[in-house]
Chains A and B, each alone.
Chain A
Amino acid sequence: MSPIHDQTYRRYAGHREPPGKTWAVIAWAGIRNMLTKRAFLGLLIFAWVPFLVRAVQFYVAANYPQVSQIIAPNAATFRDFVSQQGTFAFFITIYVGAGLIASDRRANALQIYLSKPIRRVEYIGGKLATLLFFLLGVTLLPALLLLLIQISFAANIGILRAHPFLPASIVLATLIQTLVMSCTMLALSSLSNSPRYVAILYTGAIFFTTAIFGALAAITGGTRVAWISITSNVSQVTDAVFRQAPGYQSPWQVSLLVILGLIAISVSVLERRVKGVEVVS
């Protein structure tokens, strides 16, 4: 037998973190991994362009009274901004989320993770936190910053007096928007070993439900079946949260129920699919 390479193995007597904090380790590793990708950084920067445009709009509205009647920000402005950022959130969900669990499944990493002192909920929490970090970074963060910018440009809190619910609406609407995207994507990611296939599946789910809704709306001549479309449900609930007139005829409560159902189904899928071993009986 040949000699052992190096006798440097020593027992470890140092500190060990108690179980329960590992989700942060997983999330931070995922965030760092994404930030090393140039194309993704480009997408992140691009997602902030609407923020700059709106900031200019707020500046002009605050400093040029002759146009302030037309472009003065109100609750609808913020509602539109949140909705607009949904497009970027869609692409980020695909870029970040498709491989979050699928890549681990392909590399058999789940048994590495779950052989450590980690609960399955911590693993899923870590992956969810990775996706939410970036999604909230292009929805919640710029929306709240815009609110602060408006207050500072106007040098008063007039917008908050007129719409006191606005900060809570921004937080709630972006959380609903990003949670439904993240949970759906994570569930789909746990169903396959191929991130590419997951991306196609997610895109298909979004566009297919919207297409069905469009077809039914054309046939019925109304929008009572908006609850069929994932994006319409988010839009309907966002309208309600910002106290705007609903865009569709279906009740926003139905849309909220569909969204909660989608999240519940996603959690159930994750519970079944995230396991240390895949048992085929």
Chain B
Amino acid sequence: MIPAEAGTSAVVLDRVTVAYGKNRALQEVSAVFPRGAVGLLGPNGAGKSTMLKSLLGFIKPSAGSMRVLGLDVASQPLEIRARLGYMPENDAHIPGMNAVTFVAYCAQLAGLPQADAMQRAHEVLYYVGLGEARYRNVETYSTGMKQRIKLAQALVHDPDLLFLDEPTNGMDPKGREEMLELVRDIAHNKGISLILSSHLLPDVEYTCDHVVVMDKGRVATYGSIDELKGPAGRVYEVRIKGELHKFIAALEAQGIECHETDEDIMRVFVPASHAAGEARRVFELAAAQGVQVRHLRPSLPTLEDVFAKAIGEA
């Protein structure tokens, strides 16, 4: 069911199903993307790119309806795309053009007059940090520069909503920081809403206020990042010596969630109801199971915890 705030939202999906043959990429997805910066998170194959492409009208869903900026995707695709900027995941450019010609051409495709298109192209290329390289052929650009030019072409017609599909892919650490700074600036200072599709949690956490987590073609969870990280319990980093699975089973039997990480440290979520003597409870359970607690440190809930929890539950 679509909530009441859907009327003022950037994007609303109502029981959308997209199938590629027998494979269902989206399964009755209902979600509301508020205005502002929203992260679209999920592992590879979760359906993030399919969702964006469906919203752009590239793929027709077999069931359900979608609205972007209050407009129906099925009946008003041109009106939507006039107010939308799309930065695709893979390399994309118009062959044989230099950067300024390419970006100006994209502005003209979006309906800007030639003179305005050229002026906007120069401005936007400076904004994304390609001012000095704007007369170079796009095909000679590095991976990082190609990411920036894709952002420039998405921005040049001044959209109200941006779809950014993995915008930091292939960028070096410095370039990635600069790209994230740009994305954050666009969303928070320029009045442009955006949906950032990524599998990189730190990117989403840095730039976005809300998140929609997808897994296996379904929405696993969505909401404000702060609320999802929420104070409904405490998080501990724990390392033990002994039978790990037995200990995890014992914790979970007490309503305490555990997630193993890549290292030998696991993250333990103690619900608010266990708040009193929460750490002691972990020690007691460890003693009862005959395992040694070698490390126990309070931690802050991260988006990674939200993601792990959502994917685990999905």
Contact residues of A with B, CB < 8 Å?
Answer: 1-12, 14-19, 22, 25-26, 29, 33, 99, 103-104, 106-109, 111-119, 275-277, 279-281
Contacts of A108 in B (CB 8 A): 88, 90-93
B72 to chain A, nearest CB (A): 15
Contacts of A99 in B (CB 8 A): 95
Contact between chains at B178 and A5 (CB < 8 Å):
yes
Contacts of B112 in A (CB 8 A): 12, 14-17
Stretch in B54-62, B219-227, B302-310 with 4+ CB within 8 Å of A: B54-62
Contact between chains at B190 and A4 (CB < 8 Å):
no
State in angstroms the CA–CA spacing of A106 and B96 once bound together.
Answer: 12
Given known contacts A112-B93, A112-B106, A5 and B157 CB-to-CB distance under 8 angstroms: no
State in angstroms the CA–CA spacing of A170 and B147 once bound together.
Answer: 50
Contacts of B111 in A (CB 8 A): 16-19, 22, 117
Contact between chains at B185 and A117 (CB < 8 Å):
no
Contact between chains at B88 and A111 (CB < 8 Å):
yes
User: Would you call B177 an interface residue if the criterion is a C-beta within 8 Å of the partner chain's C-beta atoms?
Assistant: yes
State in angstroms the CA–CA spacing of A9 and B112 once bound together.
Answer: 16
B49 to chain A, nearest CB (A): 9
B35 to chain A, nearest CB (A): 15
Give the nearest-CB partner of B206 in chain A. Answer: A1
User: Would you call B180 an interface residue if the criterion is a C-beta within 8 Å of the partner chain's C-beta atoms?
Assistant: yes
Contact between chains at A277 and B181 (CB < 8 Å):
no
Contact residues of B with A, CB < 8 Å?
Answer: 20-23, 53, 56-59, 78-79, 81-82, 84-86, 88, 90-97, 105-106, 108-113, 116, 120, 123-124, 126-129, 131, 153-155, 157-158, 174, 177-178, 180-182, 185-186, 190-191
What 3 A-B pairs are tightest by C-beta distance, nearest first?
A: A281-B21, A276-B58, A12-B158
State in angstroms the CA–CA spacing of A117 and B76 once bound together.
Answer: 10
Contact between chains at A277 and B92 (CB < 8 Å):
no
Contact between chains at A111 and B21 (CB < 8 Å):
no
State in angstroms the CA–CA spacing of A6 and B86 once bound together.
Answer: 22
Contact between chains at B95 and A107 (CB < 8 Å):
yes
Given known contacts A1-B177, A5-B178, A111-B86, A277 and B59 CB-to-CB distance under 8 angstroms: yes
Contact between chains at A11 and B88 (CB < 8 Å):
no
A277 to chain B, nearest CB (A): 4
State in angstroms the CA–CA spacing of A224 and B207 once bound together.
Answer: 71
State in angstroms the CA–CA spacing of A182 and B191 once bound together.
Answer: 45
Contact between chains at A17 and B94 (CB < 8 Å):
no
Contacts of A12 in B (CB 8 A): 112, 116, 120, 157-158
| Chief secondary structure at chain A's binding surface | loop
Contact between chains at A112 and B53 (CB < 8 Å):
no
Scoring B91, B110, B177 by chain A CB atoms within 10 A of each residue's CB, the highest score goes to B110
State in angstroms the CA–CA spacing of A277 and B56 once bound together.
Answer: 10
State in angstroms the CA–CA spacing of A117 and B90 once bound together.
Answer: 21
B77 to chain A, nearest CB (A): 8
Give the nearest-CB partner of B84 in chain A. Answer: A115
Contact between chains at B123 and A8 (CB < 8 Å):
yes
Give the nearest-CB partner of B114 in chain A. Answer: A25
Contacts of A107 in B (CB 8 A): 91-95
State in angstroms the CA–CA spacing of A196 and B164 once bound together.
Answer: 33
Query: Of the candidates A11, A113, A118, which one forms a contact with B158 in the assembled complex, judged by CB atoms under 8 Å apart?
Result: A11
Contacts of A114 in B (CB 8 A): 56-58
Give the nearest-CB partner of A281 in chain B. Answer: B21
Give the nearest-CB partner of A3 in chain B. Answer: B181
Scoring A11, A99, A107, A115 by chain B CB atoms within 10 A of each residue's CB, the highest score goes to A115
Give the nearest-CB partner of B53 in chain A. Answer: A277
State in angstroms the CA–CA spacing of A80 and B58 once bound together.
Answer: 47
Contacts of B57 in A (CB 8 A): 114, 276
